[in-house]
């Protein structure tokens, strides 16, 4: 029985991963036991099947990470973080939340590795971000493009990637950092991420609610659906990491499109009346942050390793309608 821990399991990606694992299982077909950890308490079993174990705690407390590491999980997903806009606006909170818990937890895993005589080497999968990159950009970012983050959030994600890389090099863990595209269309309410509007301009109009567009419709960005995010994480669990050739961070597949192309896809799916609910209202801070983000990728390594995502934005909208439309929640 493989034991799995999801840190940040109450977040959107954590919920999607949980649902995916419960419905599809692991790629190798192994039976598993799932534990979700989050700073927020569970509000009951939201997934079909046997409910996973829920733990509540704060990873900013080193003792919390030590207690979790002592349970020696086989597979650990490190999803816990605060989002980009919040990390940028509160410098201290961003580093205290997005960096130090990773260091403390990896140190706790290293202690368990040593206590086991070197036999305990857990697979650790970290959700990084395309925010680790900074301009000026080529037309498409290749797997060889350098990391030069232009936000605190991107810097924090890159610092964690480097820790994952070095702890893996030393054999304490078997880690992978997945640079997720912006996940769209996110279900639920808007969050504090600077990228939140990419989902909002689709989700809100589909639900009859006005949406604010804070940037020009010429802005181009890199997207994948929540369904793809869960699939990325599940696929990484069974990956032969020797194929990474020591480069433990991966740019993942996605779809590059402009905001105008997003809106046109929405028009094709839902009509002009829905699109009319989008209102342009420029936000200088969001414009500044988004301007420093990459726009397109050529993620050849990840594709060769079997990762895949949507190819059109219509597909991304339809994933939302199939998986998260409010009409399905009743």
Residue 323: enclosing H or E segment and its boundaries? Answer: helix 313-323
**Cα dist. 276→3, 72, 86, 315 in Å?**
48, 52, 29, 21
Is 153 annotated as catalytic? Answer: yes
Tokens of 297: 């990728």
Question: Treating both helix axes as pointing N-terminal to C-terminal, what angle do 196-206 and 259-270 enclose, rounded to 10 degrees?
Answer: 20
- E-only strand ranges, 97-246: 123-129, 174-180, 182-183, 211-213, 220-224
Tell me if 34 sits within 8 A of 21, measured CB to CB. Answer: yes
Question: CA torsion sign, 315 to 217 to 13 to 293?
Answer: positive
> Which one from 77, 120, 153, 320 is the annotated catalytic residue?
153
What's the CA gap between 294 and 240, in Å, rounded?
A: 28
Tell me if 214 sits within 8 A of 197, measured CB to CB. Answer: yes
- Whether the ω angle into residue 107 lies within 30 degrees of 0, i.e. cis, is no
Facing residues of 49 across strands? none
Tell me if 38 sits within 8 A of 11, measured CB to CB. Answer: yes
Tokens of 86: 């919040």
Tell me if 224 sits within 8 A of 178, measured CB to CB. Answer: no
Per-residue DSSP letters for 124-153?
A: EEEEEEGGG--SS--SSB-TTPPP--SSHH
Residues that are catalytic: 153
């Amino acid at each position: 029985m493989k034991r799995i821990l999801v840190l940040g399991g109450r977040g959107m990606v954590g919920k999607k991963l949980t649902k995916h694992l419960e419905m599809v299982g692991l790629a190798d077909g192994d039976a598993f036991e799932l534990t979700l950890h989050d700073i927020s308490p569970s509000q009951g079993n939201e997934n079909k099947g046997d409910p996973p174990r829920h733990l509540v705690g704060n990873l900013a407390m080193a003792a919390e990470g030590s207690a979790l590491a002592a349970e020696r999980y086989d597979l650990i997903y490190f999803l816990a973080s605060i989002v980009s806009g919040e990390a940028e606006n509160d410098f201290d909170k961003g580093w205290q939340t997005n960096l130090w818990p990773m260091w403390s937890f990896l140190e706790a895993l290293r202690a368990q590795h040593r206590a086991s005589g070197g036999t305990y080497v857990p697979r650790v999968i970290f959700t990084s971000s395309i925010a680790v990159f900074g301009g000026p950009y080529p037309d498409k970012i290749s797997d060889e493009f350098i990391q030069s983050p232009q936000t605190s959030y991107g810097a924090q994600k890159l610092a964690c990637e480097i820790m994952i890389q070095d702890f893996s090099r030393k054999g304490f863990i078997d880690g992978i950092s997945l640079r997720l595209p912006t996940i769209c269309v996110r279900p639920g309410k808007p969050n504090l991420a600077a990228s939140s509007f990419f989902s909002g301009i689709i989700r809100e109009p589909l639900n009859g609610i006005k949406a604010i567009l804070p940037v020009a419709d010429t802005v181009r960005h890199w997207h994948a659906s929540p369904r793809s995010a869960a699939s990325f994480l599940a696929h990484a669990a069974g990956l032969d990491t020797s194929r990474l050739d020591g480069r433990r961070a991966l740019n993942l597949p996605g779809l590059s499109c402009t905001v105008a192309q997003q809106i046109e896809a929405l028009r094709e799916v839902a009509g002009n009346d829905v699109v009319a609910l989008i209102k342009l209202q420029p936000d200088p801070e969001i414009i500044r942050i988004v301007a420093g983000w990459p726009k397109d990728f050529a993620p050849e390594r990840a594709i060769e390793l079997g990762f895949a995502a949507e190819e059109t934005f219509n597909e991304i909208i339809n994933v939302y309608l199939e998986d998260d439309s409010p009409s399905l929640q009743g």
